Structures are given as structure tokens and as C-alpha cells.
Amino acid sequence: MQTLDTFDWIAVGLYFLVLAGIAIWVIRKKQENTADYFLAGRNVGWFVVGASIFASNIGSEHVVGLAGAGAGNKLPMLIYEIQAWVVLILGWVFLPFYARSGVFTMPEFLEKRFDARSRWVLSVFSIIAYVLTKISVTIYAGGVVVSALLGIDFWTGALSTVILTGLYTVLGGMRAVVYTETLQAVMLVVGAAALTFIGLDEVGGWASMTETVTPEYLNMWRSASDPEFPWPSLLITSTIVGIWYWCTDQYIVQRALTARNIKEGRRGTIFGALLKLLPVFLFLIPGIIALTLKMRGELHWDSPDEAFPVLMSNLLPSGLRGLVAAGLLAALMSSLASVFNSCSTLFTVDIYKKLKPNTPEKKLVRTGQIATVIIVIIGIIWIPIMANISGVLYEYLQKVQSYIAPPITAVFLLGIFYKRINAQGAFITLMVGFIVGALRIVLELMKDSLDPEGFLFLLGDINFLTFAAWFFLFCVILITVVSLLTSLPAKEKIFNLTFQTISEEEKANNKNSYNWIDVAVSILIIILVAAVMLFFNGEQGFF
């Protein structure tokens, strides 16, 4: 691997100068209340909302992991990256309910729709899940990327990016996060697009690459009996995880809540969905290019997760290599900034403010800043633990998320689609769901010591996609049965918070918040998603 030269460092330096300029401009603005600090004053336009959604989603674990999936025969994982249609569900289905209720956080919405117990459970669980998945995985992947690109050791790379990102997140709050993310989204797209075009040229074009890896390799749809990625389970589970991640997770939804109104928020999600189509071409295909060059003996890497940085350092010319390096640093920093801010919002609004409801706004902002610092420290402590992760990073992340998503998706979906669902049903489903998810992780880790004929072995050994699909069905049945066997929800708990109870005034307001262009672009995105799904079908049938 080649390290960065003078022109590369100039490109990286320029990126950091612009980033610092944006951060200082935002930090100088007054942030006197929680709406300013956590939701950027609820005054952000659609372009920044969409770019922020995209940049938050695309972290270094995507850059490293998705290219690794392309290079390591994990192409079915691509389905998680063409979920632009699920991002549309956030704007068209969920966002009007969130905006109408005036909430800061997703647990806060659960309290309005159900009760305080559900809010507590989701708040605490979300913070733990962020530390175990998003923060730790992002820092680990970031350390790998930074050390590979800049020629420095893993610890120096990981620590410097964590501290730098933590600094502007603490001082600037959500406004610093969304505006720096807009720059980072542009950097990432330009840099990765350059690598894809140059890489395709290097391998002799798409046809030549397909010939080397074989068309079957480019088939994302494995047979229904495939032990790793059976297509029915893949389709169902990726949708369940997608709805949880894009429509109910604080990390993403908080960006849409910064919009100045529902119209701007929905347009932001449509723009974010359009950008979400890009990762397939920007990260997955470079992974396949890296594999092609390795098969031809022109490139070498040990682990699939090294495919992207190795390809980048060997293929790109001086200066452009620095630009892509800056884009990768941008991906790492935008993801970290998002999760730091989301964690501090959840802690401050859902835990601290709940325990001390009369706290002045300025003190809440200060509490949010302290919470961010603590989360940064916890993230650093987790680095050595994450350094032990093996295999394809992206698959690891999707596995963990497949055990987290089903109960939350069931509670939010049925909560807005079925007015009979009550607080008891939601609380029991969340509690049982989180216990079952944790049990699955434990059984998966210790299955080698279990009786191969026993039920516990079956629970730990069953394909993770198939497990998540059945787990979701279990959660849907559980929340429905418990709700029907207990009392009706109070009228104030369902008014304007379910589809069956929206007032005529709110229906009219919602209708006025979009036009034919919004509808047409949304339909175009769905057509493009279907086209990508059909394109990556190799030469094999479904069965």
C-alpha cells in the first residue's frame, strides 16, 4: 500500500480547514435552549436534512464493510444498501406523526402514544445498543481506515478522529453536526465516485470484471435453501431492520426532526432516499473491482475489509488519493458526530429531564455536552474490545441489528396503524423482545458447547435472517394478543397518533405539505430500487 504524498496531504489539509470554518461559524451562534442544541432550532432546509441523513448513515463501517462484502462473496448484503424505498416510508408515513406530536426523541413519542414505561425501556436500551454497535463498530472501522491511509498506527488514528469529532459535536450541537455532514456527504460521493470510475477503467470495464468474477458472483438472490442468505428471509428481515433503522431510530429520525416543517422534512427524506441509491456504486462495486484485481494477481489484501483502502491507495493518482482519504475521514466523523449527538439527546431529554423536570434550558444544554464527553470516553474504552472483531464487519453489524430491530419495529408499526394497541402490549413486547434478542446473541456465542439435538442449540444455530423474520412475527402476535386482552387505550393516547384517529384539520395540513413533484420523485426512486434488485440477479433463478 502506498502512503499519502505532499499533494494528498494538501487535499486533506484543505478539507479540515473548510470543516473547521463551518464548525467555528456554527459554534459562534448562540445555543440557549434544547431545541437549538439538539434539533438545530428546528429550522433546517430539505437539502441539508437529506445530506445529513445520508452522511449519518454512511460511516466508515459502510465504506470498509460494504466494500468487504463485495470482495468477500457477501453480495446479498447489498439489499441493506438499496433501502431507499424505506427512507421514503419515514417521510410519507412516520414523520407526520412525529412532527405533529412535537417530540425530540423516539422514546418520547412512545410515551405520548403509550406510557412512560415504554419510554424508559427504549431510552436505556438505545443508549446501550449505540455503544455496543454504532460507536464501537464505527471507531474500530475508522481506526482501520485511518491507519491504512495515513500510515499511522491504529490507536493514534482512532483516538485523534474520536477526539476531534467529539470536540465540535460538544461545542456546536446538532447544528454543527448537520452542516458539517452536508460537506462530508459531498466529499464522500465525489471521492468514492472517482475511485469507482478509475477502478472500472483499470479492470477493463464491467463486462471484463464480470468475466473474471463470473456472473454467478453478482447474484444477490441466493436460493430459498441457501444456508447463509435464503432470499425470502433476506427480503423480510432487511425490511424489518430497515424500518427500525430508518423510521424509528433516533440516530436517523433526529435529522428529519430538525426540518423547519413537515414539507421540508419530507423533501429531506426524499433527497436522502435518492442519495441512498449511491452506496451500491460507490462502495460495493469497488470491493468487486478489488477482488477482480486480486484474482488477476494485480493487487493483494489479506482480509476483505482491507479491499477499499488498498484499492484506493494503489489506483488513485496523487492529490485525488488525498481527496478520497478526506472523504473516508468525513464518513467516519459524520457517523461518530451523529451517534454522539443522538446519545446525548436521549440521555438529556429522556433520562435526565425526566428525573429532573424543572431543570432550566441552559443547564440541559450543558448536561447534553457533558453526556457527549462521557460517551466519547466510553467509545475510546471500547476500541480494544472491537479490535478483536473478525470476519466481515458489515455482516457482524447486520446480525446484531437483526436481533435488536423486531420488537421496536413491531411496536412502532402497530402503534400508528392499529389504534387498539395499548401501553401494556407495547411494554411487554419491548421487554420480552430485548430479552429474546440478548438470549440469541448469548446462545450464538456458546452454541458449540450446547447439545446439538436441544432447543437452545436450534435457537442459537438457526440462520440469523430466518430467526429475525420469525422473531418479528412473534412480536406482532404478542403485542396484539396482550393489547386485546387488556384495557382500551385512553383517547388522548391515540388522538392524531394513529391513522384511524387523525383529525380532518391534520389530514388537510398533511395534504398541503406535498405536491406532484414529491410524489413523482418518490415513484422514480422505487423504480430505481426495483431496477437494481433485478440487475444483480446473476444467471440463476430464485429457486
3-state secondary structure 179-220: HHHHHHHHHHHHHHHHHHHHHHHHCCCHHHHHHHHCHHHHEC
Alpha-carbon gap, residue 156 to 144, rounded angstroms: 11
pLDDT of residue 542: 37
Map residue 526 onto helix, strand or coil. Answer: helix
What is the distance between the alpha carbons of residues 465 and 235, in angstroms, rounded to a whole number?
9
pLDDT value for 11: 83
- Locus of grid cell 473516508: 328
Q: Are 195 and 348 in contact (CB under 8 A)?
A: no
**Predicted local distance difference test score (pLDDT) of residue 28:** 74
CA distance 310 to 199: 12
CB-CB contact of 241 with 468 (8 Å)? yes
Write the DSSP symbol of residue 499: G
pTM of the model: 0.84
Q: To which H or E segment does residue 67 belong?
A: helix 60-71
Q: Which residues lie below 8 Å from residue 393, measured CB to CB, with a gap of 6+?
A: 61, 64, 65, 68, 137, 140, 141, 305
Q: Residue 2 carries which DSSP code?
A: P
User: How far apart are the C-alpha atoms of 239 and 337, rounded to whole Å?
Assistant: 26
d(CA 90, CA 94): 5
Q: Which regions of the chain are under pLDDT 70?
A: 1-3, 29-43, 59-61, 132, 145, 148-150, 168, 172-174, 176-177, 331, 382-398, 538-543
Q: Note the pLDDT of residue 390.
A: 42
Rg (alpha carbons) of the chain, rounded to whole number = 23
Beta bridge partners of 230: 222
Residue with cell 462530508: 184
Question: In a 10 Å sphere around its CB, with 0-12 CB exposed, 13-18 middle and 19+ buried, how is residue 121 labelled?
Answer: buried
Burial of 216 (0-12, 13-18, 19+ CB in 10 A): exposed
pLDDT at 521: 95
Per the listing, cell 460511516 goes with 59
Three-state helix/strand/coil letters over 16-30? HHHHHHHHHHHHCCC
Query: Per the structure block, which three cell numbers stand in for 185?
Result: 456527504
Alpha-carbon torsion 169, 324, 306, 217, what sign? positive
d(CA 203, CA 69): 19
Distance CA(88)–CA(521), nearest Å, equals 10
